Amino acid sequence: MRRLWCQVCGSPAADPNGRIPWILTETAIRWDPGWPGVAITNAPPTCRTCIPGSLAACPQLHKSADVYTASAAAPAGVLGDVHEPTPSGLMLPAGMHEVEVRFDNHRYLPSVLAHSLLVRVFDLQPAI
Ligand SMILES: [Zn+2]
């Protein structure tokens, strides 16, 4: 994800013009309020070669999927389960699952058990 490699073939996902193709679903994208064309997602990019096969083969993408290109992406936080410390120092689940924790969330970031990286994608434009 950080290197922007295709989630299907593992090759660099960027087009020759530098834009990065991204298949985004309703559940994998949150538009960043106040930032037109900027969103946050935990979905990795998909290269142009792999997009047609992904759209045809993945049942999840049949529900809702749009193909965009982005000019850049940067780590923004993590998605995971929040834990809380006990008096003995042991960390136990706090009952908060699949929580988006941005890197500026100093309350939960030290206690989240992350399973995926969130990236902020910039200048999203519908792919033609
Ligand atoms: Zn690919």
Taking the centre of ligand 1 as the mean of its atom positions, its distance from the CA of residue 14, in whole angstroms, is 10
User: 83 and 111 in contact (C-beta within 8 Å)?
Assistant: yes
Sequence spans of domains, the chain: 20-73+118-126, 76-116
Note the pLDDT tens digit of each residue in 111-124: 999 999 999 999 99
User: For position 113, what pLDDT does the model report?
Assistant: 95
Note the pLDDT tens digit of each residue in 1-55: 889 999 999 999 999 999 999 999 988 888 878 788 899 999 999 999 999 999 9
Q: Which residues surround ligand 1, an ion (CB under 5 A)?
A: 6, 8-9, 47, 50
pLDDT of 59 above 80: yes
pLDDT of 128 above 80: no
Taking the centre of ligand 1 as the mean of its atom positions, its distance from the CA of residue 114, in whole angstroms, is 25
Taking the centre of ligand 1 as the mean of its atom positions, its distance from the CA of residue 109, in whole angstroms, is 32
Q: Residues with Cβ < 8 Å from 36, sequence gap 6 or more? A: none
